[in-house]
Amino acid sequence: MPASGPDGQVAIVTGASSGIGRATCVALARTGARIVAVGRDAGRLAATAALVREAGGAPPLVLALDVRCEADMQQMSARTLQHFGRIDTLVHAAGILRAPGATLRMLSQLPVEEWDAVVDINLRGTFLANRAVLPAMIAARRGDIVNLSSRSGRAGIAFDAPYCASKFGVIGLSEAIADEVRHHGVRVQVLAPGKFDTEVLQQTGPLPQPGGIPPPERVADAIVWMLSMPADARLLNPVIEPTRQPGGAGWTHGRGDAVAQARMRSSHKESDMDTSSSSAARDLRGKVVVVTGGSGGIGLATARASAALGAAVVVADLDAARVAAVAAEVEQAGAAGCLGVAIDVRREEDHERLVKATLERFGRIDALIVCAGILRKRGTPPKVLVDVSTDEWDDVIAINLKGVFLSNRAVLPTMIAQRSGTIINLSSVQGLQGRAYDGPYCASKFGVIGLSQAVADEVRTYGVKVQALMPAAVATPMWEQNLPAPMPGDAIPPERVADLIVFMLLQPEDTMIVGPVIAPLGARKRKAAAKPAQ
């Protein structure tokens, strides 16, 4: 897991009187951070302060202030500096769904007052709070800001136009600020929660709510992890949302389930692994993690990170000698057993053999991490599309996209029978925005995201999570295929991506991280600039 963290840091949390803000105060206090709790209701802030003390934190600085008021936000910064002498972190969680007393309305019927009430708190408040703390952070050449957007900041929903507009705006504002201050040693990130059990749900009016909605502490845990990332990387617009409860029919109802259950009954376990799933997992003991592309780059880093947390690890890759050597190394790193299987991800029978060997050795499959991939056919340079041969196209698509399909399909019957499992498919930032001269790669990585979302929708009712992860510039051997273009100086090590993968694996059954992009702090613009000291 990340080596740095909020321990001893001074953290301002707005919206601290309830919900995600209150949970974040408590979670950060447990790490040793000193808390500044900001909200409008002094009585409710006092309750938050009591919870912080109960969690073992130092008594927080409590400030009853309004994020809509410029003078209040300037006072927030001034009083924090006066009390603690520094501002290390801002978590801006203040927000509302609708104006008090407002109901569901079409935009054509929306009073201006209701628009202003939502946008002033959600968007103007974000601007004022960020602007208030930035001078101190820039002067210190260090700082972390996490602004809370929403799932509705990524996809609009009917009858809540002000909320969606404000939350889309929070993402745009955060990205703009991030680009302005990254060379000053300040990191700005934004997190988009889905539906969690907060007071915002009480503002949804007559709409019925499903049972089993996770608590705000799940979001607070994600915020703490984002703040704990090493200073050379950040997450771009991740979504954290509930998963649906297991149960119900799906594509394997009947034969698929029977086949998978028969496989598991006939398998020979190496050990009696714990099959329970903890809602507060701190390690991967009792879990079996399969990593394709596991002998190098992100795959190798993920195998090592999983082993260090006690998982049984299966390393799959093309080179048999290399796979055997890595499996031996990973087992020494603390894995509860390690199996190496040489496969060609383009071959259906190789995936079947991988699953069979894993079940015979360990009796279950808890996670599949699909890291196998290429930038382009070996030995070929970047090309405009009209010069790409069909062989070059077929090679990239077969490994990067068909290989994902085959690996996912191979493990799903087992996971469905278990009613649990996590699949993480590695895409790329080039799966979100195309890049000239690499049409096949971009097509394959866009395809991985679409495939992952489709499969996730098919199997979520079985308790199986399927997620895509989009790394940006990572220092792996794949960069050799870009020569003579050099590796960017700010490329992050593959261990950063592995840390995020492990965090995704440790999420409780009721939540998942959706669509995370992990990138160097300066990934969007790599101008020559001295890396600020942290």
d(CA 173, CA 169): 6
SS3 62: strand
Terminal Cα-to-Cα distance of the chain (whole angstroms): 19
Catalytic residues: 441
Residue type, 31: T
The string of DSSP codes covering 282-329 is -S-TT-EEEEETTTSHHHHHHHHHHHHTT-EEEEEES-HHHHHHHHHH
Q: Are strands 239-242 and 511-514 parallel, antiparallel or unpaired?
A: antiparallel
Give how far Cα 170 sits from Cα of 63, 71, 163, 165, 186, Å: 23, 21, 11, 9, 17
* Cβ(323)–Cβ(295) below 8 Å: yes
Q: With the CA atoms of 51, 55, 60 and 62 taken in that order, what torsion angle do they form, in degrees rounded to the nearest 10?
A: -20
Edge-to-edge strands, sheet with 10-14: 61-64, 34-39, 10-14, 89-92, 143-148, 186-193, 239-242, 511-514
Answer yes or no: are the C-beta atoms of 512 and 243 closer than 8 Å: yes
Which DSSP helix (H) or strand (E) runs through 34?
Answer: strand 34-39
Tokens matching residue 203: 């503002």
Which amino acid, one-letter code, is at 410?
A: A
**DSSP string covering 142-187:** -EEEEEE--GGGTS--TT-HHHHHHHHHHHHHHHHHHHHHGGGTEE
Which residue is it, tokens 């210190």?
140
Tokens of 197: 């059990």
